[in-house]
Amino acid sequence: MLIDLNGMVGIVTGVGKGIGKEIILTLAREGVKTVGIDVYQDDLDQLAQEFKEQGLEGLFFECDVSDSARISEVINETMQKYGRIDLLVNNAGVAGNGEVETLAEEVWDYCHDVNLKGTYMMCQSVIPIMKQQQFGRIINSASFAAIIPSIGSAAYASSKAGVKQFSRVLAGELGPWNITVNSYAAGMIPTTLNHFSELPQEQQERLLDSLTLRRWGEKKDIAQLICFLASDLAGYITGTLIDVSGGKFATQFPKVAYE
């Protein structure tokens, strides 16, 4: 049984670094005609060079996912080039930490504008296209924070919980057109956003103690899930949040099994 994504057209947001970069490179290697979106042109230029060196196909656009006018331009250019959009991966996200009592309004707004509003606007932009095709795959990045939040993460956790419920509603609305919508909850995967692997050793040990599989996740763990959800093998999976956290708090004290 093989996952076959050849010929699909897929858009991925937040591709400049980290998980998003791994997702778009993996999809391209699997034969997807990829469209990458990021807010940093320098990162896009570097990614485009990697695509060229590896002989991969892709378009790259500087775009803020909270800018509806720019999103429309990107979608129009994608349709002019490829004539269809089969896959949308809303990976772009930002952190927004701080206790509620002192949390700046600007931090709250920024976090929700990118994580939740950006997801909504990207989805809205591809819905008419996917409906006309009678096919589509939408995959949204939630977070383990949408399952169990952390102290000081009200802005981030609420935005990601919103993504989870938004995805369920959208799945219900788009089911009649053979369009699936799912979200995923990444666990502790070291990136430039969270710096998990750079923390003092004692803090790392405390975090790892919460995992059933007591190791950091890898970016490829998410990319491989995306490939599965984008494929025909996942055609009957929709409206769900998939936990990709190594079994974080699957039991109350996972570290007991390692003692």
Q: How are strands ordered across the β-sheet holding 136-141?
A: 58-62, 33-38, 9-13, 87-90, 136-141, 179-186, 241-244
Instruction: Return the active site residues.
Output: 156
* One-letter identity of residue 232: D
In Å, how far are 12, 37, 76, 148, 171 from 73, measured between CA atoms? 15, 12, 5, 37, 25
Say if residues 57 and 75 touch (Cβ distance below 8 Å).
Answer: no
Say if residues 185 and 240 touch (Cβ distance below 8 Å).
Answer: no
* One-letter identity of residue 173: E
Sorted by sequence, the CB contacts under 8 Å of residue 130 that are 6+ apart come out as: 85, 86, 136, 138, 174, 177, 179
Say if residues 245 and 186 touch (Cβ distance below 8 Å).
Answer: yes
DSSP output for 22-89: HHHHHHHHTT-EEEEEES-HHHHHHHHHHHHHHT--EEEEE--TT-HHHHHHHHHHHHHHHS---EEE
Of 101, 97, 68, nearest in space to 159 by CA: 97
